[in-house]
């Protein structure tokens, strides 16, 4: 497979680079084709789109997605790639892994028509969850973030936007994806009576204070986790990982999702650009990387 594009998963790759994967998660956090061993250095990444140069006849010359680290040419088993649908541009297809994570989260959260939904944290995964929830008939979806410029992203995805102190409360469902303890506190505060708060953020080795005092118990809130390593329990009996990834790729046919892609940088410039890109202050959403043959 010869790479055309890959994407930086800023939250996870920043934790990996900083050596903040806890020992208990060393095996579970291995990327499918990772080289090396945690804590660091490792060859890490899981969002590459490329063209099959040699392989089975049905894949020969096809554009495919693979959960592989950033690399220009590599070999993987044929079962480890997913064909990119004709209606999905290769550059947008790098969002497949994040979209799969968001799809799994929506299955875990089980939103319904006409629900009032808040998604706290307008990063790539949070934005994708908001986008998917916004396609359910009658839902009122608000993307909540401390960065005012994310309002433009929300508009592009067809959902509302609010700063944390201005977001509507009494939500039927709140999804937290900010990666910060303050965001989780905001999410709990936005949840209505007996509502669910779905926690998507992963904090690595960091300890996170969770405000479970005040009215958390009297309001009977439900705090649950979501993680993409297993297919959501609601779908696990019928859906394989391959079927879920294929569905995520199909969902990327919408041009609105290009709003998540940062202007591309060249693969050979990546070593110099990566530290600044992974900085919390960079503001980059999904960093697109292009390869010489793109």
Whether the upstream peptide bond of residue 46 has omega within 30° of 0, thus cis, is no
**What is the distance between the alpha carbons of residues 224 and 9, in angstroms, rounded to a whole number?**
23
| Among 9, 6, 4, CA closest to 285 | 9
Count of residues for the chain? 294
What is the Cα gyration radius of the chain?
19
As a whole number, the mean pLDDT across the chain is: 95
- Residue 247, C-beta contacts closer than 8 angstroms, at least 6 positions apart: 103
Q: What percent of the chain has pLDDT over 70?
A: 100
Residue 204's pLDDT band (cuts 50, 70, 90): confident
Is residue 82 within 8 Å of 209, Cβ to Cβ?
no
Tens digits of residue pLDDT in 123-149: 999 999 999 999 999 999 999 999 999
- Please report, for the chain, the start and end positions of each structural domain, with discontinuous segments joined by +: 2-94+238-290, 111-225
Output the pLDDT for position 216: 93
Residue 190's pLDDT band (cuts 50, 70, 90): very high
Pick the CATH number of 111-225 from 3.40.718.10, 3.10.20.30, 3.40.50.10190, 3.40.50.720: 3.40.50.720
Tens digits of residue pLDDT in 239-279: 999 999 999 999 999 999 999 999 999 999 998 998 888 88
Using DSSP, state whether 49 is helix, strand or coil: strand
**What is the distance between the alpha carbons of residues 61 and 64, in angstroms, rounded to a whole number?**
9
**What is the distance between the alpha carbons of residues 258 and 89, in angstroms, rounded to a whole number?**
10
Output the pLDDT for position 205: 81
Is residue 287 within 8 Å of 263, Cβ to Cβ?
no
Output the pLDDT for position 17: 87
Is residue 85 within 8 Å of 253, Cβ to Cβ?
yes
- Give the mean pLDDT of 215-236: 95
Is residue 193 within 8 Å of 218, Cβ to Cβ?
no
| Among 126, 145, 140, CA closest to 170 | 140
Output the pLDDT for position 112: 97
Lowest mean pLDDT among 119-133, 161-175, 270-284: 270-284
Number of neighbours of residue 215 by Cβ within 10 angstroms: 12
Number of neighbours of residue 124 by Cβ within 10 angstroms: 29
**What is the distance between the alpha carbons of residues 16 and 96, in angstroms, rounded to a whole number?**
20
Lowest mean pLDDT among 10-14, 132-136, 190-194: 10-14
Check if CATH label 3.90.180.10 holds for domain 2-94+238-290: yes
Alpha-helical regions (H) of the chain: 10-17, 96-109, 124-134, 150-157, 181-190, 241-251, 270-278
Residue 10's pLDDT band (cuts 50, 70, 90): confident
Output the pLDDT for position 206: 82
Tens digits of residue pLDDT in 51-102: 999 999 999 999 999 999 999 999 999 999 999 999 999 999 999 999 999 9
| Among 220, 267, 258, CA closest to 91 | 258
**What is the distance between the alpha carbons of residues 235 and 103, in angstroms, rounded to a whole number?**
11
- Give the mean pLDDT of 12-32: 89
- Give the mean pLDDT of 193-208: 91
Output the pLDDT for position 251: 98
Instruction: Indicate the pairing of strand 171-176 with strand 116-120.
Output: parallel
With a cut of 80, say whether residue 122 has pLDDT above it.
yes
């Amino acid at each position: 497979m010869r790479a055309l594009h890959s994407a930086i998963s800023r939250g996870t790759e920043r934790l990996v680079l900083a050596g903040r994967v806890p020992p208990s998660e060393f095996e579970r956090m291995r990327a499918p084709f990772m080289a090396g061993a945690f804590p660091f250095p490792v060859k890490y990444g899981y969002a590459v789109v490329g063209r099959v140069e040699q392989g089975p006849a049905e894949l020969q010359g096809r554009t495919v997605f693979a959960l592989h680290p950033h690399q220009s040419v590599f070999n993987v088993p044929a079962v480890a790639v997913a064909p990119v649908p004709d209606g999905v541009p290769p550059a947008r297809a790098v969002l497949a892994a994040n979209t799969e994570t968001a799809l799994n989260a929506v299955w875990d959260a089980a939103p319904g028509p006409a629900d009032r939904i808040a998604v706290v944290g307008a990063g790539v995964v949070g934005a994708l969850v908001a986008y998917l929830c916004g396609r359910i008939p009658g839902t009122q979806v608000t993307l909540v973030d401390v960065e005012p410029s994310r309002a433009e992203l929300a508009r592009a995805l067809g959902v509302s936007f609010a700063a944390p102190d201005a977001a509507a409360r009494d939500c039927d469902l709140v999804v937290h994806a900010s990666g910060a303890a303050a965001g989780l506190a905001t999410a709990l505060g936005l949840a209505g009576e007996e509502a669910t708060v779905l926690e998507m953020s992963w904090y690595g080795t960091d300890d996170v204070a969770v405000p479970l005092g005040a009215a958390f118990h009297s309001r009977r809130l439900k705090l649950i986790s979501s993680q993409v390593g297993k297919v959501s329990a609601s779908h696990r009996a019928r859906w394989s990982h391959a079927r879920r990834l294929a569905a995520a790729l199909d969902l990327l046919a919408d041009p609105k999702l290009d709003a998540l892609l940062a202007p591309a940088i060249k693969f050979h410039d990546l070593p110099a650009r990566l530290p600044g890109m992974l900085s919390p202050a960079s503001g980059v959403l999904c960093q697109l990387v292009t390869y010489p043959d793109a």
